[in-house]
Structure 1
Amino acid sequence: MKALQEALGELLGDARLVVTPLPDTDLSLWLIDPANMDRAFCAEETRRILEEPPYWSFCWASGLAMARFLAEQPHWVAGKRVLDFGAGSGVVAIAAARAGALEVVACDLDLLALAACRANAELNRVTLGYSADFFNEADRYDLVLVADVLYDRANLPLLDQFLSRGREVLVADSRVRDFQHPAYRPLAKLQALTLPDLAEPWEFRQVSLYHAQREG
């Protein structure tokens, strides 16, 4: 926690992490204090945030929606080996572990995100594995979970890669309105908001869930 707090302080000097209960779940996460978002940022703070955004200090709407979905429908993960791609705060990985997954690996390129996953796993009393390199993972997973990764359309080609490591994929996204991929079918429409609340437009609170399954 100390390293996470120090990293956040380097971006926003007065920012602090607080334990935040997630609505309509039994989970809590270490997230940026909402009071730290209720002010104008100076130019230097804005530059730092844009260059090194602390994604891991927020619970994004798609992640919260998928966490609720797994709690309501645990059969998707129960007894399975699961990888959470772009884990961020770890909310989806933690929800999968809570829902009875045999093994859950939180995967993120950002080492601070993995540290946040560890802190949040401890907070929620679950055990996770950790990986900083998806492509170094073996093709051994029953399910790959992907939440709030397609905010950058440059990440869309990753949709072709997820089935190379898992037999099935669940993708939660609130950004791509023209989502089309032959391997993925719409599964559900969910609603959630980002915490702390960024006052995002209504459409970003509408989360679409997609499912893909490897052939053969």
Structure 2
Amino acid sequence: MRTSLKHGYRETSGFSSADAKSDDRIRQFIAANLPVLPVPGIAGIRLHRAGPQSGLRRLAERDPQFGSPYWAHYWGGGLVLARYLFDRPESVAGRRVLDLGAGSGIVGIAAAKVGAAEVYAADIDPYAIAAIELNTALNGVTVNATVADLTQGEPPEVDAICVGDLFYEATLAEKVTAFLDRCLAQGIAILIGDPWRAHLPKSRLRLLAEYAVPDFGEDTTRTRPAGVFAFA
């Protein structure tokens, strides 16, 4: 059995007025404090990105919803996977694609730009979903985003899943791998982008491409190798 992604996403989810006010507040903060910058090495995509003056620490002190602002920075796995989609658009063109643990939405945006039929994005952080909405508008594409941990459930009704950098912690890596196994059994193609983190399930992967990209928290002029893999 597979889970439909038509319901539960932002366009059909029916949030309360309190949720809507919270969403508006989050979007306003991101728009006001995270400048729009071009993505290094990927022509045609711009994202809101945190800088030294973005005030994320002050926001964390006053907002109980605020977690780690992974969505506010470039991650090597997301960058390498987005670059790969531009180089190999046939990997997602015409297909229903899920960007799992989407963060800023960069991978979903890339999939939409190269011709994916439908793009979904899921993340457990409401700030990430707000960032995705702003970033997709900036880039002129449609990505259906939701706050959800899809790894707890059945495989979704998609043709391909893109996983950008979800193997940085052991427990998370184990949970994601188990979910991807269930998806693979349903015939869903899986692409992973990762800068060779410690918990990457290397024995399960086939390297498709490798690029040098910036990574989380680093100066964007510094790069490190990152790979794109098929999960098998």
Report if TM-score (shorter chain) is over 0.5: yes
Corresponding residue number in structure 1 for 2:136: 121
Q: Is the 8 A contact 2:169 2:199 kept in 1?
A: no
Task: Name the structure 2 match of 1:109.
Answer: 124
Q: TM-score, normalised by structure 2?
A: 0.73
SS at match of 2:142: coil
Sort the Cα spacing of 1:133 and 1:178 in 2 relative to 1 into closer, same or farther, 3 A. closer
Shift of 1:4: 3.2
Alignment partner of 2:38 out of 9, 21, 28: 21
CA distance in 2 between partners of 1:75 and 1:64 (Å): 18
Q: Secondary structure at the match of 2:35?
A: strand
CA distance in 1, matches of 2:201, 2:139: 36
Deviation at 1:120, TM superposition (A): 0.4
Q: Distance in 1 between matches of 2:219 and 2:74?
A: 13
Cα drift, residue 198 of structure 1: 2.1
Report SS of the residue matched to 2:128.
Answer: helix
Aligned length: 200
Q: CA RMSD of the aligned region, Å?
A: 3.2
> Gapped runs of 5+ residues in structure 2?
1-22
Aligned ranges 1:1-216 → 2 under 5 Å: 3-4=25-26, 16-24=33-41, 25-32=43-50, 34-36=51-53, 52-131=67-146, 132-134=148-150, 135-136=152-153, 138-157=155-174, 158-165=176-183, 167-177=188-198, 179-180=200-201, 182-194=203-215, 198-199=218-219, 205-213=224-232
What TM-score results when the alignment is normalised by the length of structure 1? 0.78
Give, in angstroms, the shift of residue 179 of structure 1.
Answer: 4.0
Instruction: Identify unmatched segments of 5+ residues in structure 1.
Output: 9-14
Aligned residue in 2 for 1:11: none
Change (3 A) 1:194 1:6: farther
SS at match of 1:141: coil
3-state DSSP class of the match of 2:159?
Answer: strand
Distance 2:168 2:33 in 1: 25
What secondary structure, in the 3-state scheme, does the structure 1 residue paired with 2:215 have? coil
> Is 2:167–2:198's contact at 8 Å kept on the other side of the alignment?
no
SS in 2 for 1:68: helix
Alpha carbons 1:30, 1:57 under 8 Å: kept: yes
Q: Following TM superposition, by how much is the alpha carbon of 1:136 offset from its aligned partner in structure 2, in angstroms?
A: 4.7
Q: Is the 8 A contact 1:139 1:164 kept in 2?
A: no
Distance 1:72 1:139, change over 3 A: same
Q: CA deviation at 1:53?
A: 1.6
Identity across the alignment (%): 31
Give yes or no for contact 2:205–2:229 (8 Å, CA) kept in 1. Answer: yes
Deviation at 1:116, TM superposition (A): 0.7
For 2:82, the aligned partner's letter is A
